[in-house]
């Protein structure tokens, strides 16, 4: 980060995924001076660094698409349409849930633009590596950037790193994995090019080819149903989720091993298809990653943890600042998610306290690290909802004296759905 850059902000947002973008927009639209710090050279989080190519959570379950998220999320969709993406609800034929399909390069451009339009200072290639704190307050973040290390002072901070990396270096209490300490497998969607035009994919042929590979192959496939695949909008490429890698812990050593295994497995599987499945003769591995996808890593301690009961009964509350509408998607068994519908009106309120650190007074959470039990986590972690929880965290961080109901009013004045 250049020494010319102002290094004092009202709100500092760590992480540039859906939650971080929502938080930066929420804080900036509240009149705060905001910076966002992102370790990669682009924004988007899992959508762009792990090829998670659908926004879930913008709509409730049901025959018709009923919106659950607007505000900052809507600003992003508008910008996505300006750069040529569809941005419309699409009903998944596999689950019946409403999603918005993504094209990652369009997402990157749209997010650059939406933050620039709102005066957010974005520092890419910059990783939050340490903090300074006094008592119950964070004072500054230390950022490892392309030109060494810099200290940025802030009034309030939003951890939107997905992995609670700001909370980790701040010394906040964290739960690793789920309540039983179990870590989900990491999944790695891959992109395949070179398919025959208008190919009608024969799922059974894929299943058979992988079953034959499993007899002596180096990386046996755990998904026996051929995985999940879809054609990427605007391209002839196929998106394929077939690789799941057990994670024993969250060390760099384990991540490094998983990344290497994923790449080796991806090459094997595409080669298997190209040798034995019709239409794949010229197929090639167009892209992995840039990194494996982690659904769940660490949960920092929040003042309130949304419960299974809150979600499944669709509990509404005065201090609700965002809606959780995606059915709880539980990945207990690799490759076989089970969905539990949200009760009540089809959404549950996320209270402001789920976005506030229990142990620090000026640290807020957005996205998949907000306070939630195992079942509620299966709902709140999706990216549409992350825009909304991030936006609420940003608004609260910019207005620390407001209670949940007042934050909700402010969000509504910004066209958010609460
Ligand atoms: C395989 C898989 C499939 C999924 N399928 C879907 C789906 O179809 N639809 C859906 O909506 N959700 C899906 N999810 C869930 C969803 O992708 C995540 O829960 C969501 O991205 C969370 O958003 P976030 O902004 O909280 O975190 P992230 O998207 O993880 O973004 C966090 C950002 O913080 C940055 N960061 C991390 N540490 C630092 C640091 N120290 N300094 C600076 N920057 C940092 C990261 O680079 C990243 O850009 C899936 C997840 C996985 C793994």
69: Cβ–Cβ under 8 A, 6 or more apart, which residues? 57, 58, 322, 323, 325, 384, 385, 387, 388, 416, 417
Mutate to test the pocket of ligand 1, among 41, 52, 131, 365 (most ligand atoms within 8 A of CB): 52
Q: How far is the CA of 13 from the centre of ligand 1 (A)?
A: 15
Q: How far is CA 156 from CA 37, 83, 134, 370, in A?
A: 14, 32, 13, 16
- Whether the Cβ atoms of residue 285 and residue 267 lie closer than 8 Å to each other: yes
Please name which of 33, 55, 286, 44 lies closest in space to residue 156, comparing C-alpha atoms: 33
Task: Please give the tally of structural domains in the chain.
Answer: 2
> Closest Cα to atom 5, ligand 1: which residue?
52
Among the atoms of ligand 1, which is closest to the Cα of residue 56?
11
Residues 378 and 358 in one domain: yes
Q: Which of 3, 108, 118, 4 is nearest to 391 (CA)?
A: 118
Check which CATH number belongs to the domain holding 51 and give it.
3.50.50.60
Residue nearest ligand 1's atom 4 by CA: 52
The atom number, within ligand 1, closest to the CA of 57 reads: 11
Q: Which of 245, 264, 288 delimits the end of a domain?
A: 288
pLDDT tens-place values along the chain, 418 residues long: 444 445 899 999 999 999 999 999 999 999 999 999 999 999 999 999 999 999 999 999 999 999 999 999 999 999 999 999 999 999 988 789 999 999 999 999 999 999 999 999 999 999 999 999 999 999 999 999 998 889 999 999 999 999 999 999 999 999 999 999 999 889 999 999 999 888 899 999 999 999 999 999 999 998 889 998 988 767 789 999 999 999 999 999 999 999 999 999 999 999 999 999 999 999 999 999 999 999 999 999 999 999 999 999 999 999 999 999 999 998 777 667 789 999 999 999 999 999 999 999 999 999 999 999 999 999 999 999 999 999 999 999 999 999 999 999 999 999 999 9
Distance between the two ends of the chain, CA-based, in angstroms?
A: 36
Chain centroid to Cα 247, Å, comes to 19
- The residue among 240, 264, 288 that closes a domain is 288
Distance 45 CA to ligand 1 centre (A): 5
Beta bridge partners of 134: 137
Give me the residue label for tokens 């509408």.
325
Distance (Å, whole) CA 342 – CA 316: 12
Q: Give the position, in ligand 1's atom list, of the atom nearest the Cα of 169.
A: 41
Q: Detail the DSSP E strand segments found in 146-282.
A: 148-159, 174-176, 186-193, 228-231, 238-245
Q: What is the pLDDT of residue 4?
A: 44
Ligand 1 surroundings by CB, under 6 angstroms: 14-20, 37-40, 45-46, 49-50, 52, 54-57, 127-128, 160-163, 165, 187, 293-295, 367-368, 381-384, 386
Give all strands (DSSP E) within 85-225, no chain letters.
90-91, 98-101, 121-123, 127-134, 137-145, 148-159, 174-176, 186-193
In a shared domain, residues 153 and 12: yes
Measure the CA–CA gap between 294 and 105, rounded to whole angstroms.
21
pTM for the model: 0.97
**Residue 20 sits in the same domain as residue 166:** yes
Asked, for residue 80, whether it belongs to a domain, the answer is yes
Question: Which residues are CB-contacts of 94 (< 8 A; sequence separation ≥ 6)?
Answer: 228
Measure the CA–CA gap between 343 and 82, rounded to whole angstroms. Answer: 35
- Nearest-CA residue for atom 37 of ligand 1: 161
The CA distance from 225 to 240, in Å, is 12
Q: Whose CA is nearest to atom 21 of ligand 1?
A: 46
What pLDDT, on a 0 to 100 scale, did the predictor assign at position 2? Answer: 47
Rounded to whole angstroms, how far apart are CA atoms 46 and 412?
27
Together in a domain, 195 and 326? no
Which residue segment(s) compose the domain that 323 sits in? 8-179+297-413
| pLDDT, position 334 | 65
Rounded CA-CA distance 29/386 in Å is 17
Please report whether residue 418 resides in a domain: no
User: Widest CA span of the chain, in angstroms?
Assistant: 64
Q: Are residues 66 and 163 in the same domain?
A: yes
277 and 354 housed in the same domain: no
């Amino acid at each position: 980060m250049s020494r010319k850059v102002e290094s004092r902000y009202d709100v500092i947002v760590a992480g540039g995924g859906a939650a971080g973008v929502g938080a930066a927009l929420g804080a900036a639209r509240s009149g705060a001076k905001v910076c966002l710090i992102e370790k990669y050279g682009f924004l988007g989080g899992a959508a762009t660094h792990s090829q998670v190519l659908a926004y879930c959570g913008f709509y409730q379950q049901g025959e018709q698409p009923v919106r659950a998220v607007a505000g900052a999320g809507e600003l992003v969709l508008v910008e996505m349409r300006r750069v040529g993406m569809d941005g419309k609800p699409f009903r998944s034929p596999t689950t019946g849930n409403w999603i918005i399909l993504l094209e990652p390069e369009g997402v990157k451009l749209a997010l650059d633009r939406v933050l620039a339009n709102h005066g957010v200072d974005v520092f890419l290639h910059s990783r939050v590596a340490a903090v300074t704190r006094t008592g119950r307050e964070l004072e500054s973040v230390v950022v490892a950037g392309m030109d060494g290390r810099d200290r940025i002072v802030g009034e309030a901070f939003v951890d939107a790193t997905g992995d609670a990396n700001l909370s980790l270096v701040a010394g906040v209490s964290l739960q690793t994995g789920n309540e039983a300490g179990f870590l989900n497998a990491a999944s790695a969607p891959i992109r395949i090019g070179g398919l025959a035009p208008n190919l009608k994919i024969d799922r059974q042929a894929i299943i058979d080819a992988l079953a034959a590979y499993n007899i002596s192959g180096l990386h046996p496939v755990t998904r026996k149903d051929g995985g999940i695949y879809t054609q990427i909008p605007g391209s002839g490429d196929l998106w394929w989720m077939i690789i799941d890698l057990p994670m024993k812990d969250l060390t760099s050593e384990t991540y490094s091993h998983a990344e290497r295994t994923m790449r080796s497995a991806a090459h094997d599987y595409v080669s298997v298809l190209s040798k034995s499945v019709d239409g794949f003769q010229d197929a090639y591995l167009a892209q992995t990653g840039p990194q494996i996808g982690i659904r769940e890593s660490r949960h920092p301690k929040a003042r309130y943890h949304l419960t299974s009961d809150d979600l499944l009964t669709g509990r509404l509350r005065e201090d609700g600042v965002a809606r959780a509408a995606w059915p709880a998607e539980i990945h207990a068994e690799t490759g076989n998610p089970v969905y539990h519908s949200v009760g009540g009106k089809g959404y549950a309120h996320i209270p402001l306290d789920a976005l506030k650190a229990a142990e620090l007074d000026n640290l807020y959470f957005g996205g998949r690290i907000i306070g939630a039990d195992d079942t509620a986590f299966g709902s709140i972690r999706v990216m549409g909802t992350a825009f909304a929880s991030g936006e609420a965290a940003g608004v609260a961080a910019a207005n620390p004296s407001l209670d949940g109901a007042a934050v909700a009013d402010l969000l509504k004045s910004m066209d958010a759905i609460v």
